[in-house]
Amino acid sequence: MKLFKEINSIHQFLASEKRENKQIGFVPTMGALHNGHLSLIKKSKAENELTVCSIFINPTQFNNKEDLEKYPRTIENDIKLLIESGCDVLFHPEVNEIYTENETPQTGNYGNLTHVLEGKFRPGHFDGVITIVKKLFHIVEPDNVYFGQKDFQQCAVINEMIVRNHFKLKMNICNTMREIDGLAMSSRNIRLTKDERIAAKAIPSTLHYIKNNIEKVSITEVLQTATKQLLSSSDLIKIEYLEIVNAITLEQMDQFDIETPAVALIAAYCGNVRLIDNIILTD
Ligand code: PAF
């Protein structure tokens, strides 16, 4: 695997690969790689001649300094996993390679997409995500990009950014990889204590409860019961949001009907660790 830390050198390398008409698949990450990331690498390898992964803990998408400081950093193990998975190129730049001094992300108005759910609880988060993903797309110029459905709202925002910026690439949203008890794989899971890890499995169970009951009772009722059940499952869990929204516009829904794509999304603290997950209700 080739490792690049500078934009010029990866750009030069990829330009020569493109001259040979190689199709490029790209998996952007912030490291602390787990099987969810590796499944994206695997898919990219199956569908492209060259797979590029980036590891960059993007400071501008953290609205909370402590969250940024505590974000797991496991670069040596990440490199090992990427080599084992057959990834061709790793881009692992320093912050000053990506951002000029005092650069503040500016992205324009993405309306509802960036203001609800994660956007409401993490102000500025999506400005940081849009800014870095756009920069990375310009650097790598991929044909295919791969993201996990766990970050459902992030995928919706990036889809819109791709359309607005006329990027000629295909967005591939891949199924969330889960642990045996259903917990969505996440880089943050390694920060859970043993008790928190046990408590966390109630999060996917809550989403399944919603999916199993959404056609039987009203949205308000299903959300009320789901919230009660989750909170009573453990004192360690605090819910930030649990909502059912239109899967395209992310607008809240008053009524469920099987014709309108809908998704239930949750963000909850398990101890000090913030976890997100979602389930599509209409597939
Ligand atoms: O999903 C992530 O890991 C990050 O938000 C991303 C897309 C790599 C941008 O920093």
What digits encode the pLDDT tens for the residues 255-281? 999 999 999 999 999 999 999 999 999
Q: What is the pLDDT of residues 211-266, one digit of tens each?
A: 999 999 999 999 999 999 999 999 999 999 999 999 999 999 999 999 999 999 99
Same domain flag for 235 and 95: no
The tally of domains found in the chain comes to 2
The predicted structure's pLDDT at residue 249: 97
Helix/strand/coil percentages in the chain, nearest 5: 45, 20, 35
Are 57 and 158 in a shared domain? yes
CATH value at residue 95: 3.40.50.620
**What's the N-to-C CA distance of the chain in angstroms?**
38
Q: For strand 50-55 and strand 89-91, is the pairing parallel, antiparallel, or unpaired?
A: parallel
- Selected catalytic residue, list 11, 34, 37, 208: 37
In terms of domains, do 139 and 19 share one?
A: yes
Q: Is 11 a catalytic residue?
A: no
| Closest alpha carbon to 136 in 82, 73, 92, 187 | 92
User: Do 169 and 191 belong together in one domain?
Assistant: no
Co-location of 249 and 122 in the same domain: no
| Angle of the 152-164 helix axis to the 125-140 helix axis, nearest 10 | 60
Q: Does residue 84 lie within any of the structural domains?
A: yes
**Are residue 141 and residue 45 in the same domain, yes or no?**
yes
Q: 59 and 197 in one domain?
A: no
Is the shortest distance between the CB of 151 and ligand 1 below 6 Å? yes
For residue 238, tell me if it sits in a domain.
yes
- Candidates 95, 17, 97, 11; CA nearest to 60 is 95
Cα 203 to Cα 100, 139, 226, distances in angstroms: 39, 37, 10
Among 141, 174, 207, the domain-final residue is 174
Whose C-alpha lies nearest to ligand 1, atom 2? 29
Nearest-CA residue for atom 9 of ligand 1? 129
Domain containing residue 103: 2-174
Q: Is 282 helix (H, G, I), strand (E, B) or coil?
A: coil
